[in-house]
Structure 1
């Protein structure tokens, strides 16, 4: 099962549409980790599990969400309420409380993934203003029976090899 994950699009519309159209046939779920700066009723957000970022003014977005997808428990948040620019510890504690396997967040605009104590932390980066690399990125997580593979893409749909990884799971 595949899950598309993006964050920090900051008002972009054409790019969200392009990414959605490119992958809609291959993914079962789409996640936006906040700072879309679009109304939750915007047609571009249809089909997304989305949370509220610090630049989102639509209060109908939840601050956090917990979803069971592909046999895994996901914790979705933007990250600003958990001080993610300083540490992942607060997210780690929260994920422990709710029994999350996969934690998706944004806010820092820095793409990356890390397996910590059996939990996969994923930041898809930003499709508008990346930090730490030149590519504007989003990610697709492929949930397999014995591994989680996270593949990062640039806006043109090319794989960003240096960010993409596979993690073995039990």
Structure 2
């Protein structure tokens, strides 16, 4: 079993990213930032995170990243190049192209997760400017065989128990 911490759209926050890293680094196997950190890649606050380039970022980050954890292919992008604010269709086509099991993205600042065509699409919301809810959120995924458990946390570390989900995704 592996655990993945996923954040997005922190827009210049440093202390908060350091707190998240310190809070979870011992119990997660991977930390992902889905872009719009607005930090330089060598900033200490973002160290330890696999990070992609958001529309508010500058230099040094890749536009997309693929990570493999526990046999699951995870595609990470910010989402602005795929028009995720209007539809997940373009991102779905990209997920099919790269044979992704899980797609992590941000950009809309809206917390959400859904399985489309056997792929989990996950937006952890925003640490700074959430939309459609008040809580500043991040997510931890537990990967175990065909079960994926998603736990949503507020920035202060409180679990949002009504938003936890468990997905069954056969490995591709």
The aligned counterpart of 2:30 is 29
Q: Is the 8 A contact 2:110 2:130 kept in 1?
A: yes
The RMSD of aligned alpha carbons is: 0.8
After superposing on structure 2, the runs of 4+ consecutive aligned residues of structure 1 that deviate more than 2 Å are: none
State the number of aligned residues: 169
The aligned counterpart of 2:129 is 129
- Contiguous gaps of at least 5 residues in structure 2: none
Measured after TM superposition, the shift of residue 69 of structure 1 is 1.5
Separation (CA, whole Å) in 1 of partners of 2:146 and 2:34: 26
Q: Is the 8 A contact 1:112 1:163 kept in 2?
A: no
- Contiguous gaps of at least 5 residues in structure 1: none
The aligned counterpart of 1:141 is 141
TM-score by length of 1: 0.97
TM-score by length of 2: 0.96
Separation (CA, whole Å) in 1 of partners of 2:137 and 2:147: 22
Separation (CA, whole Å) in 1 of partners of 2:101 and 2:158: 27
Measured after TM superposition, the shift of residue 7 of structure 1 is 0.2
Question: Pairwise mapping of residues 105-124 of structure 1 onto structure 2 (< 5 A)?
Answer: 105-124=105-124
The aligned counterpart of 1:55 is 56
The aligned counterpart of 2:90 is 90
2:145 is the alignment partner of 1:153: no
